[in-house]
Amino acid sequence: ETCKILSPEKTVWLANPAAGCPMAEQLDLDFLRALKQKYPDHAVVAYINTTSELKTECDVCVTSSSAVEICKKLDADKILFIPDPNLGRYVAQQLPEKEFAFYTGGCPRHMIVTPEHVRKAKELHPNALLLVHPECRQEVVAQADYVGSTTGIMNFAKKSDHKEFIIGTENSIVQHLQFDCPEKQFYPLTVQLTCMNMKITTLMDIYNCLKGCGGEEITLPEHVMEGAGRCIHRMVELGG
C-alpha cells in the first residue's frame, strides 16, 4: 500500500492476496480513535507496519531504523506510539525527555521470544554475539549485544570482526546473512521466529502475477491516499 501511495501513477500488485501482517491488522480505525481520545494531547506515531487507513489519522510514520531520530525531531513532548509497544518502549528509552503512551499489541513472532530462548541459544553458542530487533520483548533486548532494524542487524554482522552470531529477528535473515558471509556462522535465536505470513507468497505466485493470471491490484480510495500520504511524506521530511 505504501508503494501505491508514494507512486500513485504506477500499478502495484500483491502477488498473493492472502499475504498480510498480523501486527498491521490488529488495530483498526475505531480503536485508534478511542486511543486518541484517551491521549488527546499526544502526537500519533505509526510504525510503517500499519494499514493505510490507520495512517490517515496519524501524524507521522517511522521505520525501526528511523523511529528514534524521527520521534526526537518531532515537535511534540507527548507521543502515542502504535502498534508495537516493544519498539515504542525501545524508542522511549532513548528519549527520556519525552512522554510515551502505547497500544498493547505487537508482532506475534517477536513477542513469542523469551529470556529462556536467549539462555538456550547462548548455551549452544557461547561465543556468538546476540543481535536482536527492537520488536522483541524488553527483557530479551536487554541481553543483546546489538539492537537494531533488519538492515542494521545485517550491516553489523557483515562489518563485525566476530565470527558467530545469534539472530533475533525473522529467520530468513539468518539465511541471507549466511549467503552473504559464508566465512561466518549464523544461528536463529529460536525456530519460532519464522513468520508464516511472510512465507505465504511463493515464486509461483509472483510468476502467475507477472503472467496476468494471479495476484491482486492494490487500489486505494482518494481520501486514504491523501491522508496516508501526508503521514508517509512527513516521515521522509524528518529523515525516515
CA pseudo-torsion sign 133, 135, 141, 147: positive
pLDDT bracket for residue 240 (50, 70, 90)? low
DSSP string, the chain: -HHHHH-TTS--EES-TT---HHHHS--HHHHHHHHHHSTTSEEEEESSS-HHHHTT-SEEE-TTTHHHHHHHSS-SEEEEES-HHHHHHHHHH-TTSEEEE-S---HHHHT--HHHHHHHHHH-TTPEEEE-TTS-HHHHTT-SEE--HHHHHHHHHH-S--EEEEES-THHHHHHHHH-TTSEEEES-GGG--HHHHS--HHHHHHHHHTSS-EE----HHHHHHHHHHHHHHHHTT-
For residues 50-67, one letter each, b for 16 or more C-beta atoms within 10 angstroms of the residue's C-beta and e for the rest, the string is bbbbbbbbbbbbbbbebb
Q: What is the pLDDT of residues 198-207, one digit of tens each?
A: 999 999 999 9
pLDDT bracket for residue 4 (50, 70, 90)? confident
User: For position 189, what pLDDT does the model report?
Assistant: 98
User: Span 106-116, mean pLDDT?
Assistant: 95
Dist CA 148 CA 155 (whole Å): 10
User: For position 63, what pLDDT does the model report?
Assistant: 96
Give percent above pLDDT 70 in the chain: 100
User: Span 106-135, mean pLDDT?
Assistant: 97
Asked if residue 91 has pLDDT above 80, the reply is: yes
pTM score: 0.90
CATH of 21-106+221-237, one of 3.40.50.2300, 3.40.50.1220, 1.20.120.80, 3.40.50.10800: 3.40.50.10800
User: For position 1, what pLDDT does the model report?
Assistant: 84
- The architecture that CATH gives domain 113-189 is 3-Layer(aba) Sandwich (3.40)
Give start-end residues of each CATH 3.40.50.10800 domain in the chain: 21-106+221-237, 113-189
Amino acid at 81: F
Give percent above pLDDT 90 in the chain: 95
Cell readout for 130 is 546476540
pLDDT bracket for residue 3 (50, 70, 90)? confident
User: Span 116-137, mean pLDDT?
Assistant: 98
Per the CB < 8 A criterion, the answer to whether 47 and 224 are in contact is no
User: For position 131, what pLDDT does the model report?
Assistant: 98
Asked if residue 39 has pLDDT above 80, the reply is: yes
Give the count of beta carbons closer than 10 Å to the beta carbon of residue 230: 16
Amino acid at 104: T
Cell readout for 83 is 502498534
